[in-house]
Structure 1
C-alpha cells in the first residue's frame, strides 16, 4: 500500500480553534441558563421563605438547633449568592461561596435532618463548582483588582 501524504497538517474538528470557541460559547450559554435558574430558586424559593418566616423554614432551623438568627444568616447568604450568580464579574466568586453553603447544607442534612436529602445540595455544589471553574478568569481578575 502506498502512503498518502498531504502538504497541509490534518486537524480534527474537535481541535480546531473555531470549534473550541464554539464549544466554549455553548458551555457558557448553558451555564448562564443554569445560573439564572439557580439564582431564581435560591432567591425566591429558598431565601425569601427564610426571611418571611415560613413555618417550614422556622421548624427546620428549630430542628437544626442553632436558633432563628441562623435562618436569617442563611437566607442572606443565599440571596447574596443568587444576586452574585447573575452579575458576570461576581458569578465565579458567588459560585465558590455557594459551594461552601451547599457543603454545610449537605452536612446538616446528613447529620441532623434527613440523610437522603443531602444529595440535593451536593448536586448543587457540583454545578456551582463547574460555574466557578468556568468563571475562574473573571474571579482571578476580581481578586487581583484591589492590588492595583
Structure 2
C-alpha cells in the first residue's frame, strides 16, 4: 500500500511540475512577443498582447493606457531598435503573473539615437489560453 501511495505522490508532483513548466513557458513566450512587438512596432501584435485595462508606466512617471501605449510604439514616436532582457524572474499565482527584468535598449525616438537601461516589472493576466499585459512599471537603473 505504501508503494502505491509513493507512486501516486510521485505522479502528482510530476504533473504539477509539468503544468507549472507549461505555464512558465507560455508566459515567457508572451514576454518575447511583447519584446518583438515593441521592436517591430506592429500595431496588431501590440493590441493583441495588451489587456484592455493596461496601465503602462514609464521611468519618467508618465502612465499610458492601452490606446496611448499602442499608438506611441506603432507610430514610431517611441522607437525601439533593439531590446535585451537580463536577470529575468517570474512568479505565477493562479491566473496572474509578475515578471521582473532589466531592459537594455537602443532607441531612435524622433530620429534621435539613444540608449536606455531600465528595471521593469510586468503584471500579466491569463485570458483563455493567452497571457495579456495588465500593467508595466519601469524605473531607471543606477549608472555605474
Structure 2-normalised TM-score? Answer: 0.35
Larger Rg: 1
Q: Which has the higher strand share?
A: 2
Structure 1-normalised TM-score? Answer: 0.35
Q: Which has the higher helix share?
A: 1
